[in-house]
Amino acid sequence: MSSQPLVWLLGLLMATPLLAQDARQIIEEVQKRQRSESQHYEGTLEVIGGGNRIATKRWTFDRIGSFGNSKSILRFTVPAEVKGVGLLIINHPDRASDQWMWRPAIGREQRIALQDRSTRFFGTDFSFEDLEERDVAQFDFKLVGDEGGVWKLESTPRKSSQYTRSLLWVRKENYTMIKVESYNKKGLVRSIDYRDFEQVKGIWTARTTAIQDVTRNSRTTLKYDKLEYNLPLKDADFTLDALRRGT
């Protein structure tokens, strides 16, 4: 789902082959190059389930703060039966996020318990955990492959997670994350591909995210439009009151 150089560090990274202990530096650089004060986009989701049934949804997404210490609200706008359903996410640098979902049909918010973060978010192939940000300090990293222009890394969560490990592919040229595979004890659970990159205000940004839920054999493609960075958003836009009133 979307979030984020020191000159001497860049020089070091480009001048020497990266060893296993440098894997964390790679991810730190990925986050630095994605850094912004705020972000807004509108997105179209196409969910393809069993029998190739297709469901189309749209949502808006707003975010404020630094990576892993940020706040975001996403809200469905189409179709009518999900319009107004929203999710408030408060990310923390040292632990899992706090999340609340607002359902206009019942007129109240629901706190998403930690043990429920592996469930799908409202008919998409994103789990609640997939929609949060976690700072680099919440993982251990290891460089496990060098595939020409791409580094392949393994991350292992230090905090509670539905995943036991993830494999990450990072393009060397511009430090963009292009693929993630997430595993539990039984095997591969989800794969996410980031595609159609372009620079928006100097930030390399994927315009398409494709996620596959291997266990359900379903997939969701999210296409971003009206994407902007560094808008004048306020903390007051990311509260339970804001979630309830739809602003």
**Mean of pLDDT values over 95-118:** 94
- pLDDT given for residue 9 in this prediction: 32
pLDDT surpassing 70 at residue 21:
no
CATH architecture designation of domain 7-245: Clam (2.50)
Share of residues in the chain with pLDDT > 70 (%): 91
**Mean of pLDDT values over 116-124:** 91
**Mean of pLDDT values over 199-228:** 95
Q: Any idea which of 8-17, 91-100, 156-165, 229-238 has the lowest mean pLDDT? A: 8-17
Distance of alpha carbon 144 from the chain centroid: 22
Share of residues in the chain with pLDDT > 90 (%): 78
Count of residues making up the chain? 247
pLDDT surpassing 80 at residue 201:
yes
**Mean of pLDDT values over 224-230:** 94
- pLDDT given for residue 115 in this prediction: 93
- pLDDT given for residue 14 in this prediction: 40
For the record, the structure tokens of 196 come out as 């159609």
pLDDT surpassing 50 at residue 17:
no
Summarised one tens digit per residue, pLDDT across range 171-191 is 999 999 999 999 999 999 999
More confident residue, 13 or 243: 243
- pLDDT given for residue 58 in this prediction: 96
pLDDT surpassing 70 at residue 12:
no
79-93: string of b/e by CB count within 10 Å (b at 16+)?
Answer: eeebeebbbbbbbbe
- Name the band, by pLDDT with cuts 50, 70 and 90, for residue 247: low
Summarised one tens digit per residue, pLDDT across range 57-87 is 999 999 999 888 999 999 999 999 999 999 9
Name the pTM for this structure. 0.87
Average pLDDT, the chain: 89
Work out the burial of residue 161: count CB atoms within 10 Å of its CB; fewer than 13 is exposed, 13-18 middle, 19 or more buried: buried
| Cα–Cα distances in angstroms (integers) from residue 54 to residues 49, 123, 137, in the given order | 7, 11, 38
